[in-house]
């Protein structure tokens, strides 16, 4: 059926919302799960910085309050990515993708560093604007075919989704954190706390991989 991602071997139904596990979606799901477990289990590193003009260097420590907030946001980001990986509904996917955008800002929101905050703000602007093509892409899928279910769309009995609509979806996801818009995000990685910051890039990569699969399935 869904040839691009391989044949699904398990369907999980929540009413008319169906999650499906094909080789590709399962691989992506497991990866998101793995890194979410890392977030939950690991402690942040202490970034070493050289104090200019002397031999000294400092190690930045994350305070417990900041730690809890960022851990929460990174976990939420992991959950949103996991959802986006296996959902069989285009609109759900766009919702998860925008949730990933929000939590990405959340992950660095508690960091007291001007560069990080500026980058997060710029990234926020880009991803906010990207939600316009993203959601309108999903809306146009429904408008042109009458369904949002990927499983239905993959059957080929519905009218073909126009290339422009697919490009809208992909453009929206690219704005959520892929190159070239990634440049806005780069400075966010100055923030200490490797396990959390990694979720920012992992989630973007995973939702991009998924949107490629979705665009080729429709």
Partner 1 sequence: MIPEILAALFFGLLLLGLHRKVVARIQKRPGPPVWQEFLHAAKFFWKQTWVPKTASSLMFVGIVLVGIGIWVAALLVVIAGGNILIIFGIYMLQKIVEHGFGLSSGSPYGKFGGVRSVISAASEIPLFVSVAAIALFTHSLALQDIVAYQAVHGPLLLIVPPAAFAMFLVLLSKMPGGPFSVVEGKELVSGYKTEHFGFFRAGLYVCDGLKTTVLLWTFVLVFIGGLPTAGFIIVMVILMIILSFTCALTPMLTPFDSVTLQTLVTGAMLVYVGCIAAMGVPG
Partner 2 sequence: MKKKDARIIAALTGVLMGVLYFPYVAGLITFWTYGALLVIGAPVFFLAAGFAMMAGEGEEDDPFIGY
Residue 96 contacts residue 84 (beta carbons within 8 Å): yes
Which among 78, 103, 218 is positioned nearest to 158, based on CA atoms?
218
Residues that bind partner 2 (CB under 8 A): 48, 50, 57
Partner touching 216 among partner 2, partner 1, none, CB below 5 to 8 Å by kind: partner 1
Residue 19 in 3-state DSSP? strand
Partner touching 79 among partner 1, partner 2, none, CB below 5 to 8 Å by kind: none
Residues that bind partner 1 (CB under 8 A): 3-6, 23-24, 27-28, 31, 34-35, 38, 41-50, 59, 163, 178-180, 182-183, 186, 189-190, 192, 194-195, 197-198, 201-202, 205, 208-209, 212-213, 216
Q: Quick one: CA dihedral 172, 176, 177, 180, positive or negative? A: positive
Please provide the size of the chain in residues.
Answer: 218
Q: How many CA atoms lie within 13 A of 111 on its CB side?
A: 29
Partner touching 35 among partner 2, partner 1, none, CB below 5 to 8 Å by kind: partner 1
Partner touching 31 among partner 2, partner 1, none, CB below 5 to 8 Å by kind: partner 1
Cβ nearer to partner 2, comparing 48 with 142: 48
């Amino acid at each position: 059926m869904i040839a691009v991602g391989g044949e699904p071997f398990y369907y999980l139904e929540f009413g008319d919302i169906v999650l499906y596990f094909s080789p590709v979606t399962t691989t992506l799901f497991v990866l998101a799960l793995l890194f979410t477990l890392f977030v939950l289990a690991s402690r942040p590193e202490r970034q070493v910085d050289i104090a200019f003009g002397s031999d000294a260097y400092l190690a930045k420590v994350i305070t417990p309050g900041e730690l809890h907030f960022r851990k929460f946001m990174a976990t939420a980001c992991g959950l949103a990515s996991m959802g986006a990986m296996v959902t069989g509904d285009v609109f759900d996917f766009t919702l998860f993708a925008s949730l990933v955008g929000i939590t990405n800002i959340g992950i660095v929101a508690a960091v007291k560093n001007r560069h990080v905050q500026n980058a997060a703000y710029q990234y926020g602007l880009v991803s906010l604007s990207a939600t316009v093509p993203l959601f309108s892409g999903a809306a146009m899928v429904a408008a042109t075919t009458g369904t949002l279910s990927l499983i239905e769309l993959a059957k080929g009995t519905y009218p073909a989704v126009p290339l422009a609509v697919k490009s809208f979806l992909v453009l929206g996801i690219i704005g959520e954190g892929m190159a070239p818009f990634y440049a806005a995000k780069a400075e966010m990685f100055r923030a200490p706390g490797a396990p959390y910051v990694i979720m920012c890039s992992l989630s973007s990569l995973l939702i991009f991989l998924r949107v490629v699969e979705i665009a080729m399935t429709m």
